[in-house]
Amino acid sequence: MRKSYVLAAAIAVAAGAWIGSGYFGVELPGSTAPGVVDAGEAGLVTEQRPELRLPAVRVRQSVAREHERQVIARGRTQALRRVTVRAEVNGKIANLEVRKGARVARGDVLAQIEFKDRQARLQETQALVRQRELEFDAAERLREKGFRAATQHAAAAAQLDAARAAVKRMEIEIGLTSIRAPFDGVVDGLPIEEGDYVDPGKAVAEVVDEDPFLMVAQVSENDVGRLRVGSRGFARLVNGLRVEGAIRYIATTADENTRTFRVELEVPNRDRQLRDGVTAELHVPTELVLAHRVSAAVLTLDDQGTIGVRCVDADDRVEFFPVRIVASEATGVWITGLPDAVDLIVVGQEFVRAGDQVRPSRVDNAMAES
């Protein structure tokens, strides 16, 4: 055990002496062995190769490419139409013709209200019409023979019209006892049961239009000016589904609390895959720009806190370029504000400043070429 301690101590002393010498891993012309440098050779390096004292950085050439800018905003799915169907006449629900979740077509009966005495009242008004028709015909013949004044004839005509209007009202009321779907859709709510009594205005069913659907998002005031009604875009739902459509609406007034603008992207939903209220991310391409794709790690700040990148010019001096991030991806960010081609510092950018002379070494630009 003591021999192990002695051996470890000897190795530690030797390693410390080697590191302290400052010349490990260097092989110079004339050296008798790798890593061995005498004092004369060390002086030759500092006097004849002062560039070794410059900060070393790694650079990668970056070339601008066309990039399609997009407005990206978080939002959700929303049905194009959602209507609460209400009773228009009073009465007891005699039959519910559908169940919650059923798909219906425009005009399908959702629920039926009892007729009660409505049919009898219709027959009564129809009988009154027949009586008024006889009275009008008699008044017409008497007027033609000069035995009836024009005012009496007009009164008979008015009574006939009133009777016919009463029949029409009863026919409409009877028709309203059948509560019908206003459009093709799905019954998403049914807050009544058979036997319930309803008054005019009572909610009977909620019908949702399934096709098309909307992707609704709140867009910042900085980006809303880049959007146009009719522009194509797509939405990626939280479940991975991607749907495409066109912008149908852009709000002209900002939300008072968030200072954002409502934007609606209309998308088809023929296969009925979309549901109301699902989280989605809206993407709308706007224009093509020349931009550089770089790793987010190369972004830095200058002394004034401006975000940018540091590059090396033809004289190996550092330049700082303020940049603007136009898009973010999993593999990096797209930035503008740089020349079309630059030598971008990718290692050591935090240890140099604009105007510094550096000693650059080049690495492959795998990201720019991908």
Q: For the segment 117-168, what is each residue's pLDDT rounded down to a tens digit?
A: 888 888 888 888 888 888 888 888 777 777 667 777 788 888 888 989 988 9
**Of 284 and 45, more confident:** 284
Answer whether residue 215 shows pLDDT above 60.
yes
Is residue 9 included in any domain, yes or no? no
- The reply to whether 328 and 182 lie within a common domain is no
- The reply to whether 294 and 280 lie within a common domain is no
Residue after which a domain boundary falls, among 186, 204, 222: 204
Q: What is the pLDDT of residues 5-60, one digit of tens each?
A: 544 555 554 455 444 444 444 443 444 444 444 433 333 344 455 556 889 999 99
Output the pLDDT for position 17.
45
- The reply to whether 327 and 351 lie within a common domain is yes
Question: Which value, in Å, is the radius of gyration of the alpha carbons in the chain?
Answer: 42
CB 333 within 8 A of CB 293: yes
- The reply to whether 243 and 273 lie within a common domain is yes
Output the pLDDT for position 49.
59
Output the pLDDT for position 50.
58
Output the pLDDT for position 20.
47
**What one-character DSSP code corresponds to residue 95?**
E
Query: Which alpha helices (H) appear in 66-193, and where do they start and end?
Result: 118-145, 150-176
The SS3 call for residue 3 is: helix
Output the pLDDT for position 25.
41
What SS3 string covers 305-360?
A: CCEEEEEECCCCEEEEEECEEEEEECCEEEEECCCCEEEEEEECHHHCCCCCECEE
If 0-12 CB within 10 Å is exposed, 13-18 middle and 19+ buried, where does residue 365 land?
middle
For range 344-369, the mean pLDDT: 82
Output the pLDDT for position 152.
78
Tell me the CA distances in angstroms from 342 to 21, 78, 166, one per residue in order: 39, 46, 87
Q: What is the pLDDT of residues 51-104, one digit of tens each?
A: 568 899 999 999 999 998 889 999 999 999 999 999 999 999 999 999 999 999
Is residue 41 included in any domain, yes or no? no
Question: By C-alpha distance, which of 253, 243, 340, 331 is closest to 291?
Answer: 340
Residues of the domain holding 297: 57-67+289-369
Q: Report how many domains make up the chain.
A: 3
pTM of the model: 0.61
| CATH number of the domain enclosing 269 | 2.40.30.170
Is residue 52 included in any domain, yes or no? no
- The reply to whether 310 and 240 lie within a common domain is no
Is residue 169 included in any domain, yes or no? yes
- The reply to whether 224 and 261 lie within a common domain is yes
- The reply to whether 75 and 217 lie within a common domain is yes
- The reply to whether 195 and 221 lie within a common domain is no
- The reply to whether 256 and 328 lie within a common domain is no
Is residue 34 included in any domain, yes or no? no
Q: What is the pLDDT of residues 173-205, one digit of tens each?
A: 888 989 999 999 999 999 999 999 999 999 999
- The reply to whether 269 and 297 lie within a common domain is no
- The reply to whether 91 and 200 lie within a common domain is yes
Output the pLDDT for position 205.
94
Output the pLDDT for position 136.
82
Is residue 20 included in any domain, yes or no? no
Residue after which a domain boundary falls, among 146, 176, 204: 204
Output the pLDDT for position 8.
55
For range 318-347, the mean pLDDT: 92
Answer whether residue 170 shows pLDDT above 70.
yes
As a whole-number percent, the residues of the chain with pLDDT over 90 amount to: 55
Residue after which a domain boundary falls, among 204, 236, 258: 204
Output the pLDDT for position 137.
83
| CATH number of the domain enclosing 102 | 2.40.50.100
Q: What rounded mean pLDDT belongs to the chain?
A: 83
Name the band, by pLDDT with cuts 50, 70 and 90, for residue 281: very high
Q: What is the pLDDT of residues 291-307, one digit of tens each?
A: 999 999 999 998 898 99
Is residue 118 included in any domain, yes or no? yes
Q: What is the pLDDT of residues 148-158, one digit of tens each?
A: 677 777 888 88
Output the pLDDT for position 140.
80
As a whole-number percent, the residues of the chain with pLDDT over 70 amount to: 84
Is residue 6 included in any domain, yes or no? no
- The reply to whether 274 and 249 lie within a common domain is yes
| CATH number of the domain enclosing 294 | 2.40.420.20
